[in-house]
């Protein structure tokens, strides 16, 4: 009898667990529908509930229910009423509440550390710029970041706004050895803010993408000490899973374009391999090839190029040709429409555009090269700062990772 009692009890527990799992699954499904509605509004809003209902495959009242849930969360708002040709009630239009939701973007590109907070309409409301060229420990950098977070939290609290997410876009450890030790996630988590870290190229991509039509496929080239390359279409990153853009530190993806091999057993690259593009076209490689006492930094390199230094111009022209040649096959593979060069060396790119285009012509027709209209970013640092905030917003609204269920407050879940 005792054994039978235990068996019956276990069965009851199993049934209970199945019921709980079923309820949780249904709640999660409904939550994911709300999240999908939010994403639709982010990319297409303002919209009527009937439009979103069609995209979700639900009835207009069901779509309205999602809007109300998201409205309680402070994420969406009814923005206008659209009259329907005199027939029926006017349609209520909904949109992301862009003025009351904020993200933080952090850019560390030695010697600069720039941290900003922007609303969902890309308006920067707080920003600090710091020179960290002499910083050798994490403590000072973490103190700068923490002080800004405190100011940002205070700002949103006073106005009953919401600080949703943070994205730290960082240079590699080769450029700043202490970079991996900076406790980015811990600093933000201390203030109950979710945060991720990614590369500088992601910040450039989200900043530059807004300058081009949403349907254009743009290749963003970060010309720095190294070479970063990421293609995008609008805010959609075109490699792997776009929601995992911040995983680039741990996975070799298209963003490792600078470490593709262009010369068998060639020059040694800082990554440890030989023959990488970066070992021939990166700013560091050019400085090493010049081996001159007057050129130690990218600023020195830029200044010499602008002053017409023939040796520097020759080395940079070779670097630009290597870049163009390596990109030519990539352009065909990804269907690139436009190329934009950003980063510290972008302001001298116009001097070497012809060399870059000549490299592209290694595998592309001249007409194809002309249509790409390779150009330099008009404001690489400013767009990178804005881009880091936009990247944070994108990851908050469009992440498909399991963690996305924790990014929004639990008020959405509890209402189901």
- Could you tell me if 257 and 326 lie in one domain? yes
- Could you tell me if 300 and 352 lie in one domain? yes
Listed range (64-68, 233-237, 299-303, 398-402) with the worst mean pLDDT = 398-402
- CA nearest neighbour of 169 among 217, 99, 126, 222: 222
How far apart (Å, rounded) are the C-alpha atoms in residues 226 and 384? 17
Write out the H or E segment, with its range, that includes residue 24. Answer: helix 2-44
Q: Model confidence at 286, in pLDDT bands (50, 70, 90)?
A: very high
- Position 61 pLDDT exceeds 80: yes
How far apart (Å, rounded) are the C-alpha atoms in residues 190 and 188? 5
- Domain end among 73, 97, 121: 97
- Position 373 pLDDT exceeds 90: yes
Joined tokens for residue 140: 């000072």
- List the CATH number of the domain containing 48: 1.10.10.10
Look at the chain and report how many structural domains it folds into: 3
The tens digit of pLDDT for each residue in 98-143 reads: 999 999 999 998 889 999 999 999 999 999 999 988 888 889 999 9
Joined tokens for residue 300: 């020195």
226, HSE (Cβ side, Cα atoms, 13 Å): 21
- CA nearest neighbour of 317 among 285, 353, 370: 353
**How far is it between the farthest Cα atoms of the chain?**
96
How far apart (Å, rounded) are the C-alpha atoms in residues 178 and 275? 27
Structural domain contains residue 10 = no
Torsion 280-282-288-293 (CA) sign: positive
- CA nearest neighbour of 203 among 109, 100, 138: 109
The tens digit of pLDDT for each residue in 292-344 reads: 999 999 999 999 999 999 999 999 999 999 999 999 988 988 889 999 999 99
- Could you tell me if 331 and 202 lie in one domain? no
- Could you tell me if 368 and 259 lie in one domain? yes
- Could you tell me if 86 and 108 lie in one domain? no
Joined tokens for residue 49: 């509930």
- Could you tell me if 109 and 196 lie in one domain? yes
- List the CATH number of the domain containing 364: 3.30.420.40
- Could you tell me if 324 and 226 lie in one domain? yes
- Could you tell me if 372 and 399 lie in one domain? no
pLDDT at 399: 63
pLDDT at 24: 39
Q: How many residues does the chain have?
A: 416
Structural domain contains residue 26 = yes
- Domain end among 71, 97, 123: 97
Structural domain contains residue 294 = yes
- Domain end among 43, 78, 97: 97
pLDDT at 57: 85
In the block, residue with structure tokens 């002080």:
147
At residue 236, the 3 state secondary structure works out as strand
Specify the pTM.
0.79
- Could you tell me if 229 and 302 lie in one domain? yes
- Could you tell me if 179 and 221 lie in one domain? no
How far apart (Å, rounded) are the C-alpha atoms in residues 200 and 391? 11
Range of the domain at 259: 210-378
Joined tokens for residue 126: 């707080």
- Could you tell me if 236 and 281 lie in one domain? yes
Q: Model confidence at 22, in pLDDT bands (50, 70, 90)?
A: very low
């Amino acid at each position: 009898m005792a054994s039978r009692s235990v068996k019956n009890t276990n069965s009851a527990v199993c049934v209970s667990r199945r019921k709980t799992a079923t309820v949780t699954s249904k709640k999660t499904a409904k939550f994911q529908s709300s999240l999908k509605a939010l994403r639709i509004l982010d990319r297409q809003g303002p919209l009527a509930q009937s439009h979103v209902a069609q995209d979700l495959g639900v009835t207009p009242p069901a779509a309205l229910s999602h809007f109300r849930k998201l409205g309680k969360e402070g994420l969406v708002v009814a923005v206008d009423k659209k009259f329907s040709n005199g027939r029926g009630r006017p349609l209520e239009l909904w949109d992301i509440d862009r003025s009351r939701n904020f993200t933080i973007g952090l850019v560390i590109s030695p010697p600069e550390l720039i941290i900003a907070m922007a609303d969902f309409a890309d308006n920067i409301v707080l920003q600090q710029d710091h020179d960290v060229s002499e910083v050798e420990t994490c403590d000072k950098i973490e103190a700068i970041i923490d002080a800004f977070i405190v100011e940002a939290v205070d700002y949103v609290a006073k106005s009953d706004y919401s600080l949703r997410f943070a994205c730290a876009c960082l240079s590699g450890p080769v450029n700043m050895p202490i970079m991996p030790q900076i406790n980015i996630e811990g600093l933000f988590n201390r203030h109950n803010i979710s945060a991720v870290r990614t590369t500088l190229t992601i910040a450039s991509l989200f900043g530059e993408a807004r300058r081009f039509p949403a349907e254009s496929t743009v290749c963003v080239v970060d010309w720095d000490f190294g070479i970063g390359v990421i293609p995008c279409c609008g805010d959609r990153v075109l490699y792997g899973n776009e929601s995992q853009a911040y995983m680039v530190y741990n996975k070799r993806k298209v963003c490792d374009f600078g470490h593709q091999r262009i010369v068998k057993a060639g020059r040694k690259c800082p990554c440890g391999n030989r023959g990488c593009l970066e070992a021939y076209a990166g700013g560091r490689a050019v400085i090493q090839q010049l081996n001159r006492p007057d050129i130690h930094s990218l600023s020195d390199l830029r200044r010499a190029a602008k002053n017409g230094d023939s040796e520097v111009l020759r080395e940079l022209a070779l670097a630009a040709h290597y870049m163009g040649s390596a990109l030519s096959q990539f352009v065909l593979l990804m269907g690139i429409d436009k190329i934009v060069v950003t980063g510290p060396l972008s302001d001298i790119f116009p001097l070497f555009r012809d060399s870059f285009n000549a490299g592209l012509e290694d595998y592309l027709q001249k007409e194809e090269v002309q249509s790409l209209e390779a150009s330099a970013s008009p404001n690489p640092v400013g767009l990178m700062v804005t881009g880091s905030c936009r990247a944070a917003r994108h990851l908050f609204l469009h992440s498909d990772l399991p963690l996305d269920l924790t990014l929004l407050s639990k008020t959405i879940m509890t209402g189901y």
